[in-house]
Structure formats: structure tokens, C-alpha cells
A and B are shown apart, each in its own frame.
Chain A
Amino acid sequence: MAMNLEARETLSNLILAITKTGDLYLDPEQVKQVKAICKKSDVNVKTAYDLLLIQLQRKHAQIRYSSTQLIAELFQRSHVFRELLVADFSVFLQLTVGIHQNTLPPPILFAEKTKQLAISLTNEWNGKYGAVYKQIALGYEFLRYHLKVDFTNLVPVTEEARSAEQRAQEELSKRIRQRKFEKAAAELEDQSDAIQENLKRMDSCFDILVPKLDDDATLQSIFQTSSESVDGDDDDDDGDGGDEQDGQDDGGVELDDIENENEMNEALIRHDPMGIYDNALGSSRYKLTIEVNKDNPVDVHESEDNSELFATLRECYRLIVKKHWPLVMDWLDAFMKADADSGVQRAEYDRLLKLAINLKKDVADAKSKCEDLGVNMDTMYGPHEQDSDEDDADFEEVQIQEKASDKKKGKLPKYKAPISEPKKPKNAVFAMHGAEVLPDDPTYVGGTRITPARAVAISSPSPQSEQASSSRAASEVSTPPAEGEESREVLLARAPVIPWDDDLAVWDKKEMAFNTSGLEFSHRFLGVGDGSNLVSQATLDRMKMRTTIYTPELPAVIKACRYPMSNGRLCMRRDLVRCPYHGPVVPRDEYGQIQRPEDEGGFVPEEKDMLNDEQEAELIQRAIAAASSSPSSRAPKDKSTWEDIEDDVHLALGLEKIEPKRKRGAGGSSSKKKTKPPSALVNINKKPDSSRVRLLRHMASRATRGSVEEDQRIAKSEQSRDTNIHRWTK
């Protein structure tokens, strides 16, 4: 049993080194070395066990924590080690969990960690070896019964337990998927007939309502209507115009296909927001565009004749929206997720999938057809907005506008308020500060759109309303409409659209009177003019400035750190540049290993593609460059977080590092500190700095003591003086 002395020496050194670092994680390289030595012979295992038990008895929780981790590694591997540890299992629990009135040594944080680790280990070992090693089973029972340790929801700590848990999870999810699949299949078989029935019913309604294009007579009639619409008297065409306007007012919410038309229409609307051109044809310089009405492309309206059909359609639509559509989507989802592997099942699976896809297509078709006919989410409980044909005859123009707005309303589900949708600038240079809270402000009118109904109530495009509308589009404030249409369009295309602010009122003014009357020569806020009734140039310049508050745009997706942690998971922290625990955020593979470690420093291009954000990529690149030059991030430093990233930030910004002021005579000690071997062990001998200690220190200081003595002396002399005063002298 003579043991190789050299091996013993190395083993001893290694174990000392491992346990004395005080890190949370063991150095895998060193652990590997220990394992390699232990693998050679059982004598080495015995030696390692003895050494580890000595380390475990140290009165320092960090050493115990590291020792426990190493014990877990060896326990898993060696049978001899297991036998040895099991024989002393109660001692192990005493030292790690603190049973039998043993207390764990400070620091408390690590003591708690050691305890948790030991409990998890006991749990896992009991599961695996409890049947053979009674001591482990008894220890488990003891912890459970006497210490009331909760063994549920423990994080697996050994590799085996982790993989077992993973496997169990997969198994479970697979089973759940399979069950879902079976359920969906049964439902599909069960309900597809009902859905088909419903679809058939709808189809027959469509057949009746919508003319088929293969019929000559219907085609003829369609052409006739369209020729009528060229005259501009038709509902459809007018509605179209209104619709167009809506689209423009939305400011790019709806995408129009033809750019030219778009601009032309925009111009038209600018000049004539009330749509005089469209309705009264006031000018010959117009261009008519015929588009299929998006709201009602098939041009079928509900009337007394077809109200029954519509009622049926609504009913079917309701059924589809409420029941069939979600159902079909659920089935599809279940089918997609379920994996059919066996051959017999495969065919069945394919058949079901096909069936479900077809059903989905049919249902979607029917749904969109319904919506084309004006039966949608809002109108499916019946026409709550009357079409009111009788109004048509009286106020035709008004009706058009209203109709357009009605349709607009229909497009916004569950949004019944007719106005107050804030208008977003098309190509905003600056987002207006606090734009998101403005609509709630009752004094704010800037972004609200005046509804056509209101405009009609005003009856004519008065200069006031013109101004109100023009205030939204800043570019047109001072452009007179008399200027050439072309040049104006070109200008408009170039012009930046910025949100309203006070500076826009004066942005083009070369000079400004104090008031409109031109009589005032001074103003409370605008100051005193230099001899004229004009505001001074400096004030005017100041008025043209505007305040914007820069809010840095954060990337849409902040990547997780994904550093492999001791519990087997990956770090979930999301930081822009650097995780405070694990250093710079670098791309890692699914196991948390750094991808392409050889060029860790210069790596970015993939990242760039993914993030799609130049700025952030640059930032990360800088951070990585900084990190690669800085010492390894493995050893946690006793620095606070801002100090931790201070260097990186300085480097990234190209600033020089600010050297902290050294204390007198500390120059030598700081260099000495660096040469000392890195150890994260907490000094537990240092007493906590309590208020009592501070007071004692204060009391013991020479200055305080001196002053106390001085006080006593003065008090004494005063006392003697008093006695002298009151003494009767003869």
C-alpha cells in the first residue's frame, strides 16, 4: 500500500489550491487533474478523501463549499470514495448542513450555499445509492424528519441528476404533445363535418349574394355600374374618395401602392380638405382614379331583399370567428408540434394534417369573403350602424363623409370613439417630447384630427379651421397655395416633417412685432425692442430654438449573458454590454461555451446581422475588445459593479483611466497586493464594524482621551474654585 509520495504531494497541493481559491466554481482544469490522480489507484482516492475531510473541517464556509463540490465530483466517480464517505456520512452532514447542533462557520452566504449544496447532494445520492448505502438513506430521512428540510424543487447539482431531469422533462412534454395530438385528432374527426356544413351554408349565401363573373348578364350589369361611376355621382366612387382621404390622414398607416397618385391625392386634399373637388367637380384639373373599395369590394349592400341572407351569414360568421377558427388553429398547432415517428401512424398523421390545413384554408376563405361583404367582427351581431338610405337623398355630400368615417370605425375593432387618434408625423425628425402623454392632456389639441362631421358643422372651410389643420403639417404654414403646384410638391417631398412646437410659429420670421397692432415697444417676456416695435434679433433667435430630450434607443432584443452556471443552467441576465457576474456578453453556443474562442476578440459580424443595429454592434465590439485586453473575468473581484465596468467604459470612450489617489505610503502595499496569489476567501477573523466597535475606537483615540482628561481637569479646578469662593475666610 505504499503510496507514491510524489502523487500524494501533488494531490495535497491541488486540493489545497482548489479549496483555497474561495471561488464559487471549481477550476475544471484542476479538478481534472485531481480526478486523473485518483483514477490511478484506490490509495490515492483514500488520500484524497482524507485531505478533503481535513479541508472540510476548516472553519471557513468558502473552503467547505469548495471541498463539498470536489467531494461531489469524486463521489460520483469512485466506489472507494463512496464507501469512505458513506462511513462518515453523518460527519459530512455535520460539517456541511450543520446537523447535531453544529453551526457552520462564516461567511454566512457561503455557509448557506454549502448547506443547500449538501442537501441537494443528499437528495440525489439518496435517489441513486440510498438502497445500498443505508447511511445516506438515514441521513436523508434525518434531514427530512428532524430538520424539516424540503426536498422538493431542488436544483439538480450533479450532472447525472441534471440529465435525468432533462430527460424526464422531455418525456413529459412529448407525452403531453402526444395527448394533445390525439385529442385534436379525435376532435377533428368529430367536428370537421359540422364545420364543412357551416362552410357550405355560407357558400350558398355567397352564391346568391355575389354575382358570378362567368355569367354574361352579370358582367354586363357590372360594367354598366362602373361607367356610371365615372360620372362621379355614384356612391361607390364618392366613398372611394373619402376612403382615400382617410388613408392619407392616417399618415402612412395604410400603405398605398402608387406613389404618384398618393402625392397627387395628398395635394388635392391639402387644398380641399372638405372634398369639394370630389363632389362638386369644381375644377377641370382633376384626375379620377377608380379603385376597388377596400371596405366593400363586391358592392353588395344589405337591403330588405337580402337581409335574411345577411342574417344567416352573420350567424355563420359568428360561429366561425368564435368557435371554428380557434379550433382549427388549435388543431393545426397540435399537429405541427406532435411528431409522428412510426410508419403506421405516419400515414394517419399526414392525412389528419392535410385535412386540418384544408379546413383552415376553407375557413379562412369563408371568413375573408364575409368580411368583403361587410360582415366583420363589429357587425356580426347585426347592423348596429344603420345604412339609412333615406338620408342619402337629403344630404348626399354629408352622407359620403359620414359613411367613410363609419367604415373607418369598422376597421378599428373595439374602438368606438370617433376622434382623438393622435396623428403621427410621417418622417419625424424629432419625436415630440412627451408625445405619448399628450393625448391625455385636455389642453392639447395639436395631434387630434378634426372629424369630417365636425368640419361639416362648421359648414365652410373658414380660415380658422384651415389654420388648425395646417398647424399639424408644419411644412405648409407659410407656403401660399398660389405657388406652382409642381414646385410645391417638390418642396414638400424634401421638407422635413417635425412635430409641432412653439418655434414653428416663428421659424421663418425675419422680424417680429411685439404685438399685432404694432404699437407696443416692449413685452413682458420678449423684452424691450431697441427703439422699434420689433422683437430683438437675439430673442427671436432664441424663440426659434427648441428643446428635445434625447432618449437613447435601446435595441429591441437584449441578449442574455448565457454564461454556464454551476447549477447547470445558463445565466439569464440581460445586459447591454457586460454581465456584472460573468463579464462581457459574448456570443455563446447552446451549452454556454464561447463560440470560436480563438478569435474571441475580433468576433462580431454574426452578431451584427442578428441585431441589425449598428450602434449596438459597435458597442459590443468595443466592449469585447476591452474585455479581451482586461484580465480574465473568472475571478470575481471585490469591486462594486460600476467600478467593474469603469475600465471598459473608459476604454470604449477613449478616455484615460482615472487613477485613484493613493494613500500616503500605500504605493508599496498595492504592488504587494498584486503579487499575492489571488484568493477570494473572506477574512473571517476581521470583526464586523459595529457601532460599539466604532465608539470604542473613538474613545481609545489619543485626542479623545486627552480632551476627556482636560475636561476632568477643568471640572476639578472649577469645583475647587467654587469651594474657595464659598469658604468663609476670616
Chain B
Amino acid sequence: MNVMNSHGPIHRQRRRRPLCRNPFYLQELGLAQPGSFQKRFLSSRLLSIVLDPTTSVSREHAGAVNTVDIEEAEGRYLLSGGGDGNIHLYDLDVSEREERRVIHSMADAHGSYGAHKGGISRVRWYPFDNGMFTSSSFDSSIKVWDTNTMEVACTFDLNNKVYSHAMSSKATHGLIAAASADPRIRLCDLRTGAFTHSLAGHRGTVLTIEWSPRHEYLLASGSTDTTIRLWDIRKSTSCLCSLDLHNSNSPPLAETNSAHTRTVNGLNFTPDGLHLISVGHDDKMRLWNIYTGQNTLTNYGTLMRNQFVNNLTPLISPLSVFGGSPSYVFQPSDDRSILMFDLLDGSLVKRLKGSYGRVIALAWRPRTQEIYSAGNDHDILVWAPKSSNQDTAIRAIADQDTWSDSD
């Protein structure tokens, strides 16, 4: 023990002080971890994220944009669903080399047979390819769309307002979990086009629902009854536990358990599936450990404002795969800004201001580290890391001070 203590620092010192500090050289020598280089670069880019002055998405929706999603297969196509009941599809790579580009909608669901009659609450790409996407709407239906023809392939009628739905990116079961005004969670089977079974347990409207990216049958849902429930859909008594913010020793399904003091309207798993983050109308964000089902008691501060009854999913930057690196969570706030927190220690990193509408949904584009935000000002905004190769001529005008000599 003594020896270890005396030698440890020396040993570490030698390891930590290589001859050269050039990261390229370090990587070449194999001294740096494989992911560290990428991690370093990405985190510096993330920290410099601002409203992208050169890219804009044209305003297509006639109402608030309720949801946006970018497919994972290529990271190229963006779906947006609006309060006007329309769904638009954008190609984000279009005219990428242009100095000042505007991304126009390449297709929309307007006028197609069987389109939604109410506002869209959530659109989601099929996790495995971009030939299909699903949408849920306040007209109490979930529809499955063929992307190429922009036509409805299948409709599930739930008889209640649908606030959200989810498909597992892991599983092969092809089930869509639907969160609706009905306290029961309905599972829609894509293979048969019918409902399989319902998960009963909530006592209020279910506003948010997510599949775990690690376990294919694990489902998490949040409701107006202030609880977050974890489900194993295979079990007959399917509810595993209801999360408790006080970490009390009560049984996992106790009535007294509540995850927030008020309605829970946002849930998201970290990409590794080890943690769950939740937001509620008590203006709080909480981080839960999925293995223990305990509140990690991370304090995200009191800056967040969240009072609207809609699905408001926090966005987690998928950086945690590089182990130990800081990963960030982006959470829209009702004061028209997006708050960027450090996921694990809860400190506010940055506040993204600039939107003129309340931000309702966020989408992450991994390839370029861009965030697309949808707001109730009918706009989709692009937030991108500050690039160095901006239009320097215009920049110069803005950068110069023009004090007149007489002053």
C-alpha cells in the first residue's frame, strides 16, 4: 500500500507527460486513446454552438412546428410535423457548398390520402432505414408512412389524443408504443397492423414514452399523474417500477412514488441506456440511474421553464459513448431559449438564445453536430458550431468599430 502510494504518482507522471503534446503525434504514437481525439474536437465544437447565420430552413408550416426528427441511417433527411397537420421532409445536404443556403421542403404530406386531420404531435423515423416513418397526431391516430411516395401505409386508431409514440431502435419486435390521453399504453404491432396489448398502471394522460436503447423490451413512460414508470412488456404484470424522486425505501410500485411533483412531459434515455433523464412541469430536470432505479440527485438548477402540456423531449448529445467525456443535454425552455447542461454534473454550460418562438422540439444531426429546433413561431432554426471559414467580408463589416474622430 505504501509502495503503491509512493510509486503511483511517479508512474502516472511519466505517463501523463509525454515528450510531445501534439495530439496528432500522440495519436500516432498510440499514446492517446482512440476516441479522445475525436472527443476533444467534438466537445470543443459543441461548446461553440450558435445560431447558424448561413443556413436556414424555409418556413413551410402554417402553424407551430411540434416535432422534428432526423433519420439515423444517413443523417440527411429531416422530418417536421406541424400544428397545421402537415408533415414536411427536408434534404439537409442540399446545396451544402453554397455560402448562404436555404433548405426547402422536398415533399409534404399535404393532400395525400389518409393524411392527418389534426396537429401532428410527434414524427419519428423508422430506426433502421429511411423508407418509412411514423407520425402521431391529436386526431387520435398513429400513421405509418411510406417516405418515397409520402403516402399512409397503415393507420392505428387510438380513440384518444396521441401525445407521443416510440419505436425501439434496438428491438426486432416492431412495436410502436403510444402515449395518449388514455392512461393505458397501447402497443401497435407493425407486422399485423393491430394492437397487441395495453400496459395499465398510469392514472393520467401519458405524455411521453421511450424505449430503452439497451434492453429491447424495456419501456419508460411519463404521465400527468407525476410518475415515471418502467415497463417490461413481456411480463403479465408489466410495470417494473415507478421512479421515486426521494429515493425512499418504499416498494417499487408504491402509490406514493412520484418522479416529479407535477406532470412529467419529457423523457429520454442516454445513448448507452444507463441513465434516464426526465423533465416535468415542476421546472425540474432529473437524471435517473436505470440499473438501480434511483434518482441521481443531479441539480440542474432552476433556470428551466416548462409549463405547457405537450411532449418536450430533452436532447442528449451522443458523446457519452466515448466514456467519461462530458456529454451534454439540451433542454428547451419556455423563455424561448435552449439550455445546455452538462449531463452528469448538472451545470449550465450555455444558453442558446435567438429563437423568437417557444422551442418545442429538438433534433440532433450527428454528422455535423448541428441541432435543429422547432418552435411555435412556425420556424425551424439551425444551430451549428461556429465555423471559422465564414464569409469574411461580411464579418469584417460587423466586426469593425466605427467611432468617429469627433467623439
Contact = CB atoms under 8 A, between A and B. Distances in A.
B100 A131 contact: yes
Contact of B407 (A35, A134, A139): A35
B394 A131 contact: yes
B353 interface: yes
A583 B74 CA distance: 71
A259 to B, nearest CB: 64
Interface in B16-38: none
Size range of the chain B interface in the assembly: 20 to 34
A90 B401 contact: no
Contacts of B53: 131-134, 137
Nearest to B55: A134
B403 A39 contact: yes
Contacts of B401: 77-80
Interface string B212-254: 0000000000000000000000000000000000000000000
A504 interface: no
Of listed B395, B397, B401, residue having the most chain A CB within 10 A:
B401
Given A32-B407, A90-B336, A132-B53, A139 B356 contact: yes
A43 interface: no
Nearest to B51: A134
Interface string A269-293: 0000000000000000000000000
A87 B394 contact: no
A77 B356 contact: no
B347 to A, nearest CB: 20
Nearest to B53: A134
Interface string A82-114: 100001111001000001100000000000000
Contacts of A135: 51, 353-354
A138 interface: yes
- Chain B interface, >50% SS class: loop
Nearest to B402: A77
A67 to B, nearest CB: 19
A415 interface: no
A142 interface: yes
B385 to A, nearest CB: 14
Contacts of B395: 132
Interface in A36-81: 36, 39, 76-80
Contacts of A145: 59, 378
B406 interface: yes
B378 A132 contact: no
Given A100-B336, A132-B397, A142-B377, A76 B402 contact: yes
Interface in B349-407: 353-357, 377-379, 381, 391, 394-395, 397-404, 406-407
A76 B377 CA distance: 29
B399 A90 contact: no
Nearest to B59: A145
Contacts of B378: 145
B397 A99 contact: no
B79 to A, nearest CB: 22
Contacts of B406: 32
A90 B407 contact: no
Contacts of A89: 354
A128 interface: yes
Nearest to A81: B401
A260 to B, nearest CB: 69
Contacts of B52: 134
B356 to A, nearest CB: 4
B394 A132 contact: yes
Interface residues of A, number: 31
Nearest to A35: B407
A9 B51 CA distance: 35
Contacts of A78: 401, 403
A138 B59 CA distance: 12
Contacts of A32: 406-407
A80 B381 CA distance: 25
A93 B336 CA distance: 13
Given A131-B391, A132-B397, A133-B53, A138 B402 contact: no
A584 to B, nearest CB: 28
A167 B52 CA distance: 33
A77 B402 CA distance: 5
Contacts of B353: 87-88, 90, 135
Contacts of A454: none
B406 to A, nearest CB: 7
A501 B323 CA distance: 114
Contacts of B100: 131
A414 interface: no
A146 interface: yes
Contacts of A381: none
A82 B56 CA distance: 22
Contacts of A76: 402
A4 to B, nearest CB: 18
A132 B392 CA distance: 10
A129 interface: yes
Given A79-B399, A128-B397, A90 B356 contact: yes
Nearest to A143: B356
Nearest to B354: A135
Contacts of A133: 53, 398
Of listed A76, A80, A82, A132, residue having the most chain B CB within 10 A:
A132
A269 B381 CA distance: 95
Interface string B44-74: 0000000111001001000000000000000
A36 B404 CA distance: 10
B381 A82 contact: no
B355 A36 contact: no
Contacts of B399: 79
Given A90-B353, A132-B394, A36 B407 contact: yes
Nearest to B400: A79
Given A78-B403, A79-B398, A100-B336, A134 B377 contact: no
A138 B355 contact: yes
A39 B52 CA distance: 30
A219 B100 CA distance: 88
Contacts of A129: 397-398
Contacts of A100: 336, 356
A35 B398 contact: no
Contacts of A141: 59, 379
A78 B402 CA distance: 6
A142 B391 CA distance: 24
Given A79-B401, A82-B398, A135-B51, A99 B407 contact: no
Given A131-B394, A132-B53, A39 B407 contact: yes
Nearest to B391: A131
A24 B217 CA distance: 69
B63 to A, nearest CB: 12
A252 to B, nearest CB: 60
A132 B398 contact: yes
Contacts of A137: 53
A93 B353 CA distance: 13
Given A131-B53, A134-B53, A135-B51, A90 B354 contact: yes
A612 to B, nearest CB: 40
Contacts of B379: 138, 141
Contact of B403 (A35, A93, A131, A134): A35
Interface in B289-348: 336
Contacts of A93: 356
Of listed B378, B399, B403, B406, residue having the most chain A CB within 10 A:
B403
B397 A138 contact: no
Given A80-B401, A134-B56, 16 more contacts: A32-B406, A77-B403, A79-B401, A87-B353, A88-B353, A89-B354, A99-B356, A100-B336, A132-B395, A134-B51, A138-B355, A141-B59, A142-B356, A142-B357, A145-B59, A146-B377
12 contacts: A76-B402, A78-B401, A79-B400, A79-B401, A82-B398, A88-B353, A100-B356, A134-B56, A134-B354, A138-B354, A138-B379, A145-B378
| The 6 A-B residue pairs with the shortest CB-CB distance in the complex, in nearest-first order | A35-B407, A142-B356, A132-B398, A134-B53, A134-B51, A135-B354
